[in-house]
Every structure is written in structure tokens, then in C-alpha cells.
Chains A and B, each alone.
Chain A
Amino acid sequence: MSGCEGCNCGSRPDAAESRPLGTKRVTVFRYRPCSAVEQGSTEPRGGEPWYDAFEVPYDTGTSVADALGWIKDNRDATLAFRVSCRMGICGSCGLMVNGKPHLACETFLRDLPDEVTIAPLANLDVERDLIVDKEPFLAALTEVKPWLMSAANADGFDTALSENNRQTPAQMLDYQQFAQCINCLLCYAACPQVGFNRPFLGPAAITVAMRYSRDSRDHGTAQRLPALDAESGVWPCTFVGACSTVCPKGVDPAAAVQLAKLVAAKARATGLIKRKEKR
């Protein structure tokens, strides 16, 4: 593509230099929910998953997302995967590349070995090919009430811009890192405690809870505690730390979860003291 110098039309800056580097063998996980059962049946199982291999040409700028697009355009139009922004901010394209969670848009074929295996994010249910079910996560996210709650109206939005909502840079520092989460769920794929399939809020949902609870404008910690301080809340975490290793945004969910444990434990302790005082 030419004529794109100095504009933001999306063409890669190195497009002029990018040259074919050869092909790589990309093996892709496949799953059809309906291949073994009639459409509309209530049979809970679909067909058996399988793998398809493709020789994919690549150049210096070919990402895994581009490779999947090339396969869909040129080899198998039925391949299902999620891609949106192609710039690591929408959180749609998380998948396993050679067994490790990655964003497909910022993982490049040039950096990978000649054999590349692509699979859906681990620990999550697969809907079709590389598409995982995000609904349990979205439910967990709702459960932690991810919005600023005012002191007066503790269960709704506080949209009024008042003096109370002014914040110093120091106060912003308390939660800013946790606000960078893009809900890509790489941390869920890295977390064995999610994989055990016990009820667990999971790293990202707890991080979002902390993003709000550590915000000086928020008064909703008490509303979030029932979700956090529960068997299925923060406690299944054993601090493996893999969530923070794979996070593409440097959010450090493991830190947020430990802080959430502290919040929950402190609330329990102060609750105990208050109950004693009442007696």
C-alpha cells in the first residue's frame, strides 16, 4: 500500500520494507458444536475437537491474527476466531500460541518457531474453534459491581461532578495500574485455579474490583465484599503469579488479588470488633 505516509489509515509503517520471509506451519484447534448432533437438539455435547495444519506465508509484519485471517481468506472460510482492533486494546484476540496465552494481534510469526500451534484460551469453555465463552467472566465482572459508587447512593452511578470527586495524582496512583485491564482473559488461561473449574471470580474480575475500591472517589467496597470475601471470591487464589506474567498490559492482577485478600481480611477483623462493641 502506498500513499500512506504520515497518516493514520492503519497501514503498517514498515509496509514498504516488509518482504516475504517464507512460510510457517500453523496448526489450529478446531471444534464444531453441531458436527455430531442435529441442530436444535438438547444433547449437551458437540463433536470431537481436531487440529488442522496450514502452511502460512509470512513477512516481518505478519501477526498471528493476520495468519488466521489469511487462513480464513485463502484456505478455510469456516475457521472461527475473534479479532477486532488489531492494536492490543480491545482484548478480543486472546488465544494460546504454542501453549501460552497471547494476544494474536501482537504476537508475530517471525518471532515464533517454524511449527506454531494455535488453540483457544485454556481453562475456558470453547464455543467453536478458537472462540471461548466469556459469559462466566462477564457474570463475575457484574458481581463485583465495577463502577464508582457515591457515599449517598451506594448502588448506582455517581455521575455528579462535585468537589468530592476531585482527585490528586497521588490518589490516582493507587488504582491506575489496575485500570489498564482490557478483559482479554489471558490471566484466566494462565490461572490453574480457574482451570480447576471451581467457582472463582478470577484474576481480572478481582482486579477490576480493586480498581474501583482503591479509587478515592468510590465508596462501594462494602457492596463488593460479599462477592470478594466468599468461598468463590478471592480465596481460591494460591498466588501462582502466572496471571501477572502473561498480562499484556502490565496490570499485575496477582498484586490486586493479594490486596483484595487484605481488604477482605481487614473488613472481617473490623466487623468482629464492631460486633463486640455493640454488645
Chain B
Amino acid sequence: MNLRENKRADRVVSRRTGEPWRWALFGAGGQVAAVVMPALVIVFGLLIPFAGRGDDKLAYERFSSLLANPVVALLVFGGLGVVLWHCCHRIYHALHDLQIEPPKWVRTAIYAVAVLVPLAGWVLTALG
């Protein structure tokens, strides 16, 4: 036995974690984000706000009629939810990269944003 073997003993941490499903959701969200988000930023962030008055109304009518369907609303918030999950997962791991080891509740809080915001949005839309 030497110094190295002691260190090796520290290395064997074969604890199972919840990371597989967190990572799977992250991957799904990343794929949705990569395909959909550029279009969303261009259309909702820039085109519609700067399209002029008449087009505002047109966009409102078109999109609100689409969202009146509860299945569409569920899909939209589901999609936004996985994208937000993707973001929260990256932000949590960025803390590790900055060599910050946050307590457990910080992780819970970060991932909770990805669940609660779309959920609240969906409830508000369904009520509205």
C-alpha cells in the first residue's frame, strides 16, 4: 500500500444519482431550443413588436386563436418547460465550473424554476 492507493480509495464514489433523467430532459430541451428558439427570438422578440400596429392585432388574433385549444397550450408550455429545464441544468453545472459547490436547496431552487414557471403559465392560460 502506498500514498496513491489511499487517494484511490477516495475516488470510488459509485453512488447512483438522479443525473440520468435530469440529463435526458436537458438533452431534449437542448434539441427543442436549438431548433425552435432562434425563430421564437426573431419572431416574438423582434418581428412582432416592431411590425407596426395593424400587424400587432393580426398576430394577436392568429396566436390567441391557436392557444385557445388547451392541447396546443399544453404542448407550448411543455416545450417551453423543457427548454427552461435545459437552461437551468446548464446554469447549475456552470456553478460547478466556477468551482462553487452550492448546498442542495440551491439545486432544488434552480430546477424548480423550470417546473413552476411553465406550470404557472399553463394554469393562468387555462383560467384566462
Contacts and interface: CB of A to CB of B under 8 A. Distances in A.
Instruction: Report A-B touching, CB under 8 Å.
Output: yes
Contacts of B3: 44
Given A44-B3, A199-B11, A268-B21, A192 B97 contact: yes
B96 A231 contact: no
B10 interface: yes
B20 A265 contact: yes
Interface residues of A, number: 24
Interface string B82-113: 00000000000100110100000000000000
Interface majority SS (helix, strand, loop, mixed), chain A: helix
B7 interface: yes
A196 B96 contact: yes
A230 B24 contact: no
B94 to A, nearest CB: 8
Contacts, number: 59
A136 B99 contact: no
Contacts of A44: 3
Contacts of B93: 238
A243 interface: no
Given A230-B13, A231-B16, A238-B93, 11 more contacts: A136-B11, A140-B11, A229-B16, A231-B17, A231-B19, A232-B11, A232-B13, A261-B23, A265-B20, A265-B21, A268-B20
Shortest 10 CB-CB contacts between residues of A and residues of B: A230-B14, A235-B19, A265-B20, A268-B20, A199-B11, A232-B13, A135-B4, A231-B15, A199-B13, A265-B24
8 contacts: A136-B4, A143-B12, A196-B96, A199-B12, A230-B14, A231-B13, A232-B14, A235-B23
Interface of A: 44, 133, 135-136, 139-140, 143, 192, 196, 199, 226-227, 229-233, 235, 238, 261, 264-265, 268-269
